């Protein structure tokens, strides 16, 4: 079994599922039981500041973090929040996914974003994408997804509107020139 943990999935142009069309998904976990990932290029109409207000966390109006969008991480448990962030040693509840990416579901990091004490780089999502045992491997074999190792620059520093193209460019392709015809050689 290939392991796609700490990889991006780039939706093929032919993937017409309305939730995953033209998405880039960061795979947080992948094992024999399935996979879990977060879509990183589908902003909601909610900002971090508005999210914090909803969960009763007071935000410093001067913080840049409050202006950041909250992303739709996937169709599963859309009321559950996840924060992907750059490493910082003070977050005991965060799980290290790679040398430059951590994840948490803890509210304390959201409070830190409100006061400018949070990580330098972050992405907040609501919901996640999940695959059962063997489902992701099957979808990849059916040419629904392109895969590549995750890149923190695309994750944290690339403008949302450019993530899809930039991820494909890392593979050396122009995603808009990929044919919708699928087949196996």
Of the candidates 119, 83, 81, 84, the one whose C-alpha atom is nearest the C-alpha of residue 101 is: 84
Kindly state the tokens that stand for 144.
Answer: 């629904």
The answer to which of 3-7, 85-89, 167-171 has the lowest mean pLDDT is 85-89
**Residue 115: band (very low, low, confident or very high) from pLDDT cuts 50, 70, 90:** confident
pLDDT value of position 117: 78
pLDDT value of position 88: 79
The answer to which of 44-48, 102-106, 116-120 has the lowest mean pLDDT is 116-120
pLDDT value of position 22: 94
Beta carbons within 10 angstroms of residue 120's beta carbon: 9
What are the CA-CA distances from residue 28 to residues 9, 16, 45, 53, 73 (Å)?
Answer: 11, 23, 24, 27, 12
- SS3 letters across the chain: CCCCCCEEEEECCCCCCCCCCCCEEEEEEEECCEEEEEECCCEEEEEHHHHHHHCCCCCCCCCCHHHCEEEECCCEEEEEEEEEECCCCCCCCCEEEECCEEEECCHHHHHHHHCCCCCCCEEEEEEEEEEECCHHHHHHHCCCEEEEECCHHHHHHCCHHHHHHHHHHHCCCCHHHCCCCCCCC
pLDDT value of position 179: 61
pLDDT value of position 103: 93
pLDDT value of position 1: 54
Of all residues in the chain, the percent with pLDDT exceeding 70 is 94
What domains are defined for the chain? 7-176 (3.40.1740.10)
Average pLDDT, the chain: 89
pLDDT value of position 61: 66
What average pLDDT score do residues 71-96 get?
A: 89
Kindly state the tokens that stand for 147.
Answer: 């895969």
| Tens digits of residue pLDDT in 159-185 | 999 999 999 999 998 887 776 555 554
pLDDT value of position 2: 80
pLDDT value of position 174: 84
Cβ–Cβ under 8 Å, residues 59 and 53 = yes
């Amino acid at each position: 079994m290939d392991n796609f943990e700490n990889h991006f999935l780039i939706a093929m142009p032919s993937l017409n599922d309305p939730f995953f069309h033209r998405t880039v998904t960061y795979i947080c976990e992948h094992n024999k039981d399935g996979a879990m990932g977060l879509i990183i290029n589908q902003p909601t109409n909610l900002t971090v500041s508005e999210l914090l207000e909803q969960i009763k966390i007071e935000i410093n109006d001067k913080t840049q973090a409050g202006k950041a969008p909250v992303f739709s991480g996937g169709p599963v448990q859309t009321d559950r929040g996840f924060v992907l962030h750059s490493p910082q040693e003070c977050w005991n509840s965060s799980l290290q996914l790679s040398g430059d990416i951590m994840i948490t579901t803890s509210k304390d990091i959201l409070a830190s974003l409100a006061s400018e004490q949070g990580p330098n780089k972050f992405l907040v999502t609501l919901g996640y994408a999940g695959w059962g045992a063997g489902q992701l491997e099957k979808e990849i074999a059916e040419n629904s997804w392109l895969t590549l190792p995750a890149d923190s620059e695309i994750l944290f520093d690339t403008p949302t509107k450019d993530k899809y193209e930039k991820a494909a460019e890392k593979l050396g392709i122009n995603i808009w020139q990929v044919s919708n015809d699928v087949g196996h050689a």
